[in-house]
Structure 1
């Protein structure tokens, strides 16, 4: 039965030879109806692609100075030209895979017939594919169909039709490429196991060498691998790898490319691969390390949202120069980890830094007390803590910035206007309060609240209120300004994605929406036909992105110009040509005089009795700045947002795994979850912000804040 199968294969190969000859001489004719005009055109197109289209390459991510920080890839490959590959490597491959490579024109008829006769006579499995044919097959498997299992299976199926197509392309390919180009092309495409593709990556990963430096012993190992990369993996199967290497050395002797005595000597030597595992970079942002990984992750997220596909990002061979400042990112990491231990259970401390500007807002640092990485037992995480919306506990009173800004814009108050700050307050507008609040119509309770501490008196200027943060005064301002403008201001100043999330971090379905359609947080907190909105908005109870909050401060310091917080300085393709990145344009979201006046209004938080004065004094802070602290109810999360003219940032401490209870601050490095918290924005978050900023800005000029505008200093001057 096996002999009969072999004879049928031989008959098929004879037919194949006739078809190929006919196809080469008369490409449009084909033979016996096997190759149609359309198929011929497809083959022509594919052979052209093989000669010109490059395989997947590694994308490199760098800091702003061009220093690599990470690599992204699905196939680890280092492009290598023919003259960059040692003769030993070429001889080893040809000797074991295609001894008559330089004699045939794509298909080795002599070898094909020999293999068919051998299979017909005794069933011995012998291949007949030339290196050119293998190049075609490997290109289809590893490049064209790399993410298509059906296509990969078709490219390897044992059929006359597949062999016909493969051989036809191989013959045409030999008319378009030189033998040296085909050999180099094969060696750049073929797999060497463990996501390692191509001789450049294999030489580096297996021997920490360049392909030009490979000797006969090393070349024999790599040439033997391509037959079955898993079976001959030298780390998993060293005995099989040694047997295969020695076989290749023998074939080199048979092919007169190596002396017998040299082969015998080399066969007695160890494999010589690097110890433990291949020497290759990580395939994703874990390669950026515990310190830079969060920034790398934001780069990836940002590009995907900008329209680049993950496949393109991981195969395109781009060089992505980011806006990350290594010094700033390091100081941010040191400060965050100084305040909260990296392995502290359920406590995250983050710091996001953005450079203000009227044409770009460049992200310079994204850091956390936790390391970036996959090992949770070592305090690592791959959640984008500094840039995503992971502070589900809320940002607290930092949202009072939006209430103040909206009040200034509407003329309800100026930064020097006196506002009412009673010790407690029951709203005449908002409802939805707790059981301690009085009942209003139809069993609904009014919204009522108290200040976090006493000593505010009954009134103060808005500027002093921003520094000392009385809750009642800002709820009263919300009533006077209207919730619509306040919620809208938060989005305009920078909380774009944050405002699309709800109290639980997902789409909102408020009771007022009988249709059940998902709506934004703005609708949830803002006014509707059935509700004046939620007065608690100014107290920041909702999930918030630390990066977006940092960008709010950057918008204020940029004269009211909002720009997307970009991590991208430049993207180059594999040929070094610039690639445009689709980014939102900058917007003048509030008038510049209003932004400048708001900055002056926020300029007293770092001096007594400001809520961050203690943290500022701790580092000897003396620069002009803006700042605002925030603490949520129950002290389960806290925030500090601030900026100088050169740099804006937001620090957040929160419970990333959620759960009830607060966070306790027992001093530097002693922060933990607890039942009743004592955390405030002026503690851990402010210390984190000032600790990093004092180091980053050291040696830079202390720039003044812009002056306020008289129209926004008193109420009613608009």
Structure 2
């Protein structure tokens, strides 16, 4: 009773808390502890989940630490408010921070039992406890918040007094309803209403309100999804209490008690694994974590994503994503020792419309599933990429046209020949490539080729000869300006002080010896479709904060990297690959252009590619030999989709591209490529063939400018 008298002294004193006069249960320690506390509690808004949507506003997934959606008190059913106050703190609007009657009742009961068996906390005190729990970062801090001692009660009381002085009862109740846990992963009344009943908190009826109000005391024990009988019994306790307090009539209470719970449980997808587009989702999150405008470091950005209640609007076209998934997985099985990939980008904006790979996003312990993203650049994914083969010839082609080489310029391009490193210019100030000879051969028969035929038939010796005209530096830098993330070798020296030449910037550059991702190549070729305008790939259009205000708008980041006429000429050349070349099986109902790529010999090739585009969409398809960890391996003896990998980019990768784009080609506008009328030699596809090959060793230069009438406009 000494202890009881001490508490009464605190209460009678008007909560001034004169601790020096208290006796019993370590009153001096309590006083010292409370004097050390801040006078006000930091009542930051409870963290709520962020939502990710596709371009049409369809939900992809949620990202959160706690499944919570904050709502204002006027968005909460009055029936729920009455039910909660009745069962938790019926005199809430009458007393101050401390409910004296409730506290004394609990105190006497607990002292008589020798322990803490009954709570007497007001809603304000409960808010203090929930807030401290929410802010606890360590196990020790969480233990201190939940410690069943009178010291904790007094600590909570001081904070509660400060809250009551600073805020209204409605403000405190609103914050409490948003922070309290309702079980089964639902935090706050809005998340609970949606989770258990698939309604908003404003629409909760009496049956639902009584059930949810009853959960607060013990969310696990009364969880209606796991313990429906307990939940019903607890609901009935709430209804009886409401009737006892004349909040509702006994007749109405009895009528509701006769009903079932009528749950409509809903799941709230969390993270990428449970999303409608897992791979794209992972790309979005990695992209945001690298965005420095969202926080000083990745930890801050992650916290913003998990607790900021953001609305993240992406550029994903979910229908195209489904088409891409079907195309990739219809050509490469998830369990194959190879990875199929496809990336789709919108020219002129850089909007990433879909990304797909043959190995689904999932548990890495399951054969054919992975958490690794092989489609995007290593900055946002998990792979350094794969060699892109002859798709890199487009960069040399574009640079040659930019330099004024006519489209009908002819070079003797035999099936096998030898080149010398000294014939290739490096970047100014960089070391030369040496004076050694190196052999080169074609995968198809060579001869006299111009820019049309040499590209359509992917003649290696033709492109090594064309690269002598452009040098290696300019096509290399052009590719970088188009979005290919190549390693710049300038200024890099080895231990002996010698300049290091990176393997990307060598005469074999035109054969695609650099490792790249499908998204990089789709972005790069989109530059041709956009008539020389390059735009950085962007998966996100905008972010809104929890109040619906635009936090960031992701505008297109674009710049001109080549003349319109150059891009138009490239498109005119590359359309021949689809209209009569290796990828003729993938013709669309709209204008399309593209380039195949196979690295090395077919059986030993680490990857095969097809990158193609229309005037309004660009896509890159790839198949690469890779083990379960994504480490590149040759395609030798690899079985892909039940068939040994004995094909090339046109036979393996191009069908992925074609299957995807044919699925939505009817949605594409009937936009035409612009004919490059101002580019010399345009339309002359068949080169002039002299009576005898050049007398000089190696490749030679023909004199045809397309004026002999042998060619024709395409």
Q: TM-score range by the shorter chain?
A: 0.7 to 0.9
Equivalent in 525, 528, 542 of residue 570 of structure 1: 542
Change (3 A) 1:32 1:222: closer
Specify the alignment match of 1:698 in structure 2: 666
> Which of 558-567 and 88-97 deviates more?
88-97
Is 1:403 paired with 2:403? no
Q: Separation in 2 of the partners of 1:573 and 1:213? A: 25
**Displacement of 1:471:** 2.3
Task: Give CA deviations for 1:522-551 in whole Å, capped at 9, x if unaligned.
Answer: 95225xxxxxx5444332244321111111
Aligned to 2:654: 686
Report whether the alignment pairs 1:662 with 2:617. Answer: no
Corresponding residue of 1:193: 183
Kindly tell me: are residues 684 and 407 of structure 1, through their superposed partners in 2, closer, same or farther at Cα, counting changes over 3 Å? Answer: same
Measure how far apart 1:679 and its partner are: 2.7
Q: Deviations over 1:330-386 (max 9, x none)?
A: 333333344345x453343332221211xx322222234455555875955443343
Secondary structure class of the residue paired with 1:191: coil
Deviations 1:13-32 (A, max 9, x none): 85688594269xxxxxxx97
The yes-or-no answer on 1:612 pairing with 2:573 is: no
Which of 267, 281, 284 in structure 1 is aligned with 2:268?
281
Greater displacement, 571-580 / 87-96 = 87-96
Deviation digits for residues 268-289 of structure 1, max 9, x if unmatched?
Answer: 7665444xxx412211234432
CA distance in 2, matches of 1:141, 1:515: 59
Task: Using the TM superposition, give the Cα deviation of residue 495 of structure 1 relative to its aligned residue in structure 2, in angstroms.
Answer: 1.0
Distance 2:8 2:555 in 1: 56
Quick one: structure 1 residues 584 and 260, their matched pair in 2 at CA, closer, same or farther if it must change by over 3 Å? closer
Mapping of 1:319-358 within 5 angstroms? 319-341=311-333, 343-357=334-348
Matched residues in 2 for 1:149 and 1:296: separation?
A: 31
Specify whether residues 260 and 378 from structure 1 end up closer, same or farther in structure 2 by C-alpha distance, changes over 3 A only. farther
Distance 1:582 1:345, change over 3 A: same
Q: 1:296 aligns with which of 281, 291, 313?
A: 281
Does residue 517 of structure 2 align to residue 545 of structure 1? yes
Structure 1: state its 5+ residue gaps.
1-5, 24-30, 432-440, 502-507, 527-532
1:261-313: CA deviation from partner (whole Å, max 9, x where unpaired): 77678667665444xxx412211234432xx3333333222222223312212
User: Which secondary structure state, in structure 2, belongs to the residue aligned with residue 65 of structure 1?
Assistant: coil
- Report the 3-state secondary structure (helix = DSSP H, G, I; strand = E; otherwise coil) of the residue aligned with 1:594: helix
Contact 1:557 1:644 in 2 (8 A): yes
Unaligned runs of 5+ in 2: 19-29, 295-300, 424-432, 685-700, 706-714
Matched, 1:167 2:137: no
TM-score, length-scaled by structure 1: 0.78
Q: How far apart, CA to CA, are the structure 1 residues paired with 2:326 and 2:497?
A: 46
Tell me the equivalent position of 2:22.
none
- Structure 2 equivalent of residue 524 of structure 1: 502
Provide the TM-score with structure 2 as the length reference. Answer: 0.78
- The SS at the match of 1:167 is helix
In structure 1, C-alpha distance between the alignment counterparts of 2:406 and 2:454, rounded to whole Å: 12
What is the correspondence of 1:436-455 to structure 2 with a 5 Å cutoff? 447-453=438-444, 455=445
Q: Tell me how far apart the structure 1 counterparts of residues 335 and 360 of structure 2 sit (CA, whole Å).
A: 11
Pairwise CA distance, 1:324: 2.5
Alpha carbons of 1:663 and 1:110: their partners in 2 closer, same or farther (altered >3 Å)? farther
Describe the SS at the equivalent of 1:361. coil
Between 9-18 and 332-341, report the one with greater CA deviation: 9-18
Looking at structure 2, the residues matched to 313 and 204 of structure 1 have their Cα atoms a distance apart, in angstroms, of: 21
User: What CA distance in whole angstroms lies between the structure 2 residues aligned with 1:604 and 1:234?
Assistant: 65
In structure 2, the CA distance between the partners of 1:704 and 1:537, relative to structure 1 (3 Å rule), is closer
In structure 2, how many angstroms separate the alpha carbons of the residues matched to 1:652 and 1:641?
8
The 3-state SS of whatever aligns with 1:683 is helix
Question: Could you report, residue by residue, the CA deviation over 1:472-511 in whole angstroms, capped at 9, with x for unpaired residues?
Answer: 3333444554433333222111113xx259xxxxxx9x99
Q: Secondary structure at the match of 1:349?
A: strand
1:106-137 Cα offsets, whole Å, 9 max, x none, are: 21133223333333333142222211111122
Q: Give the equivalent residue in structure 1 for 2:54.
A: 63
Find the counterpart in structure 2 of residue 129 from structure 1. Answer: 121
Say which of 530, 554, 564 aligns to 1:558.
530
- Is 1:642 the counterpart of 2:612 in the alignment? yes
Answering whether residue 303 of structure 2 is matched by residue 311 of structure 1, we say yes
SS in 2 for 1:662: coil
SS in 2 for 1:555: helix
SS of 1:554's equivalent in the other structure is helix
Give the paired residue count: 647
1:466 matched to 2:455: yes
Bigger helix fraction: 1
Q: Which residue matches 1:27?
A: none
- Name the CA shift for 1:217/1:694 in 2 (closer, same or farther; >3 Å): closer
In structure 2, how many angstroms separate the alpha carbons of the residues matched to 1:515 and 1:287?
52
For residues 660 and 325 of structure 1, do their structure 2 counterparts lie closer, same or farther at Cα, with a shift above 3 Å needed? Answer: closer
Partners of 2:478 and 2:658 lie apart in 1 by 27
| Aligned counterpart in structure 2 of residue 628 of structure 1, from 595, 604, 608 | 595
